[in-house]
Amino acid sequence: MGWDHYMGFGGGFMWVIWILVIAAIVWLVVAMSRQDRSSGEPSPREILDRRYARGEIDKETYQRMKDELD
């Protein structure tokens, strides 16, 4: 009997541990990327829209800058 029986048991569940570790890393990366996007800072397009709404830039400048952003 020996240690082979125990090695098989531990090795069989080792892949479960690796899957959990990889899943945790993926979850952390996704959570951090979502947090970065929802940091509350306006996007460049929102800033442009606000500047145009306030009258800081004219229509031609707005269109040109909008086209450059897209």
H-assigned helices in the chain: 4-37, 44-54, 59-69
Percent above pLDDT 90 for the chain: 49
Based on the structure, what is the number of domains in the chain?
Answer: 2
- Do 27 and 6 lie in a common domain? yes
Q: What is the pLDDT of residue 53?
A: 95
Instruction: Please say if the pLDDT value at position 30 is more than 80.
Output: yes
pLDDT, tens digit (0-9, with 9 covering 90-100), for 31-58: 887 765 556 788 899 999 999 999 999 9
- Do 46 and 69 lie in a common domain? yes
Q: What is the pLDDT of residue 2?
A: 53
Instruction: Please say if the pLDDT value at position 1 is more than 50.
Output: no
The interaxial angle of helices 59-69 and 44-54, nearest 10 deg, is 180
For 67, the domain range is 40-70
